Structure 1
């Protein structure tokens, strides 16, 4: 695969050093998209969408904000601050002769911060950590640090990932602006390249849709335009369309919903849409017929999608109307919400069944997948953000730090 055009999005002081790494010796072309405040990320990503193949965000905050606004549209990744970046900042403070008695840290995961501090021999350091959650503002972060300094004392050092927080706090208290290390940036770029390769490869797949609508099907016109699809009339109330996987993935919000379904339901008494994806038009049409059958079985207004080697999945409207089929709480829906594969949830469900309980720790997940406990904690945090895993409030003591017990709903 040739080089990518990568849009690097973040505050001005971080975009340039991260973009230099992302260029990879000029193997990739980089569009540098700097903002003055995190709230500008959504507008800038939307404005530059057609200029890039992929997005590299300088941190989790602009990435999450843009994803929530549904403006990303391309493979995306953000640079993590939890690994070498955090350790480098701590070591730099020690090297400069600062005695680290207390730390106030924002945005990063608490478990990863404590693991890094332990690696630096600072496991007994008093620490306040504000994990990032969607909806947090720069003002929330600044207020958190000020409260932490009041609790921990004047020797507290603030570590912040937000430029706006750094600007507000640096004149009133010792504050370090965390800047991603080259190693963490290279890891993010490598992950982004793999995602984009996979996405480009999958774009070659054909997508065929079959629609049976008893009523006005005018809302489909806008959908076909967004898909760049060719439409064919098959008879009264029946039509077909052909596109490719890439546009379909974007328009259906990663194969989770059909935007016009609610509008169609307002103008028709019966709406059934089946979409199939395959390596050939024949394979895609066969999958579309299977999907259409699933939609017919589901109710008077329903849409379904069949991907290669997968069972049919339902596509839902953005806003549920009285005539629409309610989403089923199945693994495919949960996997899409959490951003993990169905197989991942199957492994976890098998773990719950074998242990005959609905609770797990990161250690349990690490053993089930054969992965490092740090990676398992990241997976559990993904499930937590999707509402699948909920901290029970209990911890299990062991040779290391106590393990958080999560209740899972699968």
Structure 2
């Protein structure tokens, strides 16, 4: 397997620091994608999309900005700023004879900061910590450090992970820009390469399809061409085709729709397409037969897709989207997601009681009386069908933060 090309995204100086470590640790080619301000992240990721196989962001801020803009289609990872980074900064300050009695620290986790300082014998240091949350801006970080200085006094040292914040703070107070350690970078590269390898394996899974229609015509031929599929005419009148998961994901808009059905509906009376994805051709064929049966039961112009361990879902044509201001067809959405209409009614009712503020997997688990792991699978099923969308908000509490989803119901 060829080594993936990694796009390293971040401020120019960090890109130049992290790119060589990435090349050495991953033994892979690197495309440097530097920006002057983090607000350029999304446009740069779009511009360099076709040049890379995966993304390594120099920190959580550019990665989050790109993901919220929905421009990250490749596997992605960011370099974390761990206690090693913080400790190296503190040691440097002490070596320079500077006071570390008061610190303001952004982006890092509060517990990590406290534990690191305690381990260094600096447990009495007064600290203010602003852990990273989606949507935080440079202005928010700058205000945080200014407020900490007002509370603790003029000797407070501001430690920031954001270059644009440092550019302002360094003109006002003693500020240090934290940069990730080589160890943190190597760890991020290793994690990214594992993700990319898994993604490549997933894309190479076998996709088998069966189609029945009176006259295949040019529209179906174009679809099969976009899939790079090989085809065979079966004795029962169906057309069988074989491709891989990657092209199918692109053509079906992430396994949610098949707009070409609209063109077929213009000159045919009925179309049934069933597609199955499996680890082997035999598994893909079995799932394709299941999906084809689902399409035939539904009637009309239907394409259905079956994935391992999931009920077949109906792929939307894209031609019957509800007009603005009208309620979506719950039965249609339920078929797309492979859940019951009553399930969506329960979720819609739950949304109404919360004033449409979004739901977490924990909310769904409580509403249905199921384990949270089961609820997470259900929410992921809705997400793949385009019904649940990550809002970018998280709820913090005991355990790991809960992702909030907006529901299109």
Tell me the TM-score normalized by structure 2.
0.68
1:221 positional shift = 9.2
Residue matched to 2:34: 34
2:46 match: secondary structure:
helix
- 8 Å CA contact 1:304–1:312 kept in 2: the answer is no
2:333 match: secondary structure:
coil
**Cα deviation per residue 1:317-368 (whole Å; 9 max; x = unaligned)?**
79984233156679xxxxxxxxxxxxxx99xx8xxx9xx999xxxxxxxxxx
Residue matched to 1:146: 146
Provide the C-alpha distance between the structure 2 equivalents of 1:300 and 1:388, rounded to a whole number of angstroms.
Answer: 40
Provide the C-alpha distance between the structure 2 equivalents of 1:270 and 1:131, rounded to a whole number of angstroms.
Answer: 56
Residue matched to 2:90: 90
1:325 match: secondary structure:
helix
1:305 positional shift = 4.3
Aligned: 1:312 with 2:315: no
Q: Cα RMSD over matched residues? A: 4.6
Q: CA 1:289/1:122 → structure 2, altered by over 3 Å: closer, same or farther? A: farther
Provide the C-alpha distance between the structure 1 equivalents of 2:288 and 2:82, rounded to a whole number of angstroms.
Answer: 44
1:404 positional shift = 7.0
- 8 Å CA contact 2:276–2:288 kept in 1: the answer is yes
- 8 Å CA contact 2:134–2:393 kept in 1: the answer is no
1:182 positional shift = 0.4
- 8 Å CA contact 1:223–1:260 kept in 2: the answer is no
Matches within 5 A, 1:1-400: 1-24=1-24, 27-209=27-209, 242-249=242-249, 257-258=256-257, 260=259, 274-293=274-293, 305-308=305-308, 310-312=309-311, 314=313, 321=322, 322-323=328-329, 324-326=332-334, 390-391=395-396
Q: CA 1:387/1:174 → structure 2, altered by over 3 Å: closer, same or farther? A: closer
Provide the C-alpha distance between the structure 2 equivalents of 1:135 and 1:262, rounded to a whole number of angstroms.
Answer: 39
1:59 positional shift = 0.8
**Cα deviation per residue 1:246-274 (whole Å; 9 max; x = unaligned)?**
23456667x5644759989x999999875
Indicate the structure (1 or 2) with the bigger Cα radius of gyration. Answer: 2
1:189 positional shift = 0.7
Residue matched to 1:381: none
- 8 Å CA contact 2:278–2:284 kept in 1: the answer is yes
Unaligned runs of 5+ in 2: 323-327, 345-360, 373-389, 405-409
1:178 positional shift = 1.1
- 8 Å CA contact 1:9–1:57 kept in 2: the answer is yes
1:16 positional shift = 0.9
Tell me the TM-score normalized by structure 1.
0.68
Q: CA 1:156/1:248 → structure 2, altered by over 3 Å: closer, same or farther? A: farther
Aligned residues: 351
Unaligned runs of 5+ in 1: 331-344, 359-384, 393-402
1:278 positional shift = 1.9
**Cα deviation per residue 1:94-131 (whole Å; 9 max; x = unaligned)?**
33222212222222232333332332233343322222
Residue matched to 2:384: none
**Cα deviation per residue 1:270-307 (whole Å; 9 max; x = unaligned)?**
99875421244443132133345567889999976433
